[in-house]
Amino acid sequence: MIRALRWRTHTAAALPAALAACSSHVPNTTLSPQTEFGRDIDALFDILLFAGVAVLVLVTLALLFVIVRYRHRAGAPEPKAIHGNAVLEIVWTLIPAVILAIIAVPTVRTIFRTQAEAGPNALQVEVVGHQWWWEFRYPQYGVVTANELYLPVGRTVNFALMTADVVHSFWIPQLGGKRDLVSNDTNHVWFTPESAFAWNGFCAEFCGSSHANMRFRVFTVPPEQFERWIAHQQSPPVLGAAAPPAGAIDTLAPAPPAPPQATAPTVVADSLPEHVRAATPIPAGLRMSNVRGDAARGAQLFMRATPMPCAACHAIQGVAASIVGPNLTHVGSRTSIGAGLFPTDARHLALWIKDSPAMKPGSKMPAFGKSAQIPAGLDDQQIADLAAYLLSLK
């Protein structure tokens, strides 16, 4: 009975969303929770929904009864005036109080349970919100990365939520959240991933012009793959082969087949499910000439580009240590750049370096392309070199 009711509630609540998406595949739904945290929140949602529906039905029936039973009839005398009814007033005060208690007790219990820190064996992940990207730190392993989170299936993850600037909110609809990242305090949330999958994460608190562009990906992977990913993240970047020409990525022959998933520590971009592919269109008017970048020259430019070196803001293990912008140690092995906006390829990296604020409104990274406003900026060859270098950081 309860099961049937739950199913019906979910169907009723999910229907508008499903119709809007015109698809039965809704990977960003909150109505199909995949962790204990999600099910706790879902149970609260059900209580509210049932209590709300019960109140609606009872009040509507009472209203209809009164309208019909006491309607005006021809020749009827004036109704008797009544001044107060103590019993009635006590009853209609007590009933809402009981309903609020029914809602409040499980809600407060769930809040306390889910914001407590998880046990000492949990995987610890520190989340730092920035305008407009996510810094993820794994303090037990000495790993820092950005915008892509790897979590092992079956191990509870304890997130410590902090912000570098304004209030953000950490949210992975089917796994957990929303919980705010606030100044001068650390919030916590924990959950246990149950299946290997790719999930979308969002900022769920308005935080400025690119709030909607503050996204991240979560890859829940088998524990062995997580261990390999951690080992890979701990090692210095592996400089890969020469990158394709930055302007001509579309015209190139397909990339060589990706290594099989079982041996790749990172999720291979080509094998990404549709819902986590970065697919933001490039703004009109942004172009790169068709030049081939040189990773070795790019590595030098990283340290001395004008008007300022990349190393002034970005860290690369063994190369530079600034923590202003995202850590780029393994940026070439991430599936997206710009906090989930664009695929990681030579063309998008080059355009991002050339004019990041055009690619993403409000981006704190200045445009580096040479222009009338930035006469000391980089030319397309230099930008392609930098993109080739970054792409090679696997």
Residue numbers at the binding site for ligand CUA (CB under 6 A): 129, 132, 168, 203, 205-207, 211, 214
What gap in Å lies between CA 364 and CA 69, rounded to an integer?
67
Residue (182 or 313) nearer to ligand CUA, CB: 182
Shortest Å distance, C-beta 167 to ligand CUA: 8
Shortest Å distance, C-beta 205 to ligand CUA: 5
**Cα 361 from chain centroid?**
18
Cα R_g (the chain), whole angstroms: 27
Shortest Å distance, C-beta 72 to ligand CUA: 56
Q: Let me know: does 301 contact 368? Beta carbons within 8 Å.
A: no
Shortest Å distance, C-beta 206 to ligand CUA: 6
- Phi, psi (rounded to 5 degrees) for 172: -120, 100
- At 359, the amino acid letter reads M
Shortest Å distance, C-beta 215 to ligand CUA: 10
What gap in Å lies between CA 271 and CA 273, rounded to an integer?
6
Residue (181 or 295) nearer to ligand CUA, CB: 181
Residue (92 or 206) nearer to ligand CUA, CB: 206
What gap in Å lies between CA 112 and CA 115, rounded to an integer?
5
Residue (158 or 213) nearer to ligand CUA, CB: 213
Shortest Å distance, C-beta 163 to ligand CUA: 8
Q: Are strands 157-163 and 123-130 parallel, antiparallel or unpaired?
A: parallel
Tokens of 77: 């005398």
Q: Let me know: does 334 contact 327? Beta carbons within 8 Å.
A: no
Residue (203 or 305) nearer to ligand CUA, CB: 203
Shortest Å distance, C-beta 183 to ligand CUA: 13
- Packing angle between helix 86-115 and helix 36-69, nearest 10 degrees? 170
Shortest Å distance, C-beta 114 to ligand CUA: 21
Residue (152 or 177) nearer to ligand CUA, CB: 177
Closest CA to 348 of 314, 390, 376, 296: 390
Q: Let me know: does 264 contact 150? Beta carbons within 8 Å.
A: no
Residue (130 or 347) nearer to ligand CUA, CB: 130
What gap in Å lies between CA 141 and CA 234, rounded to an integer?
8
Concatenating the DSSP letter of every residue in 257-323 gives PPPPTTT-SS--GGG--GGG---PPPPTT---------HHHHHHHHHH-SSS-GGGT-EETTTEE--
Residue (156 or 169) nearer to ligand CUA, CB: 169
Residue 339 per-residue DSSP state: T
Concatenating the DSSP letter of every residue in 349-372 gives HHHHHH-HHHHSTT-SSPP-B--S
Residue (111 or 212) nearer to ligand CUA, CB: 212
Shortest Å distance, C-beta 178 to ligand CUA: 10
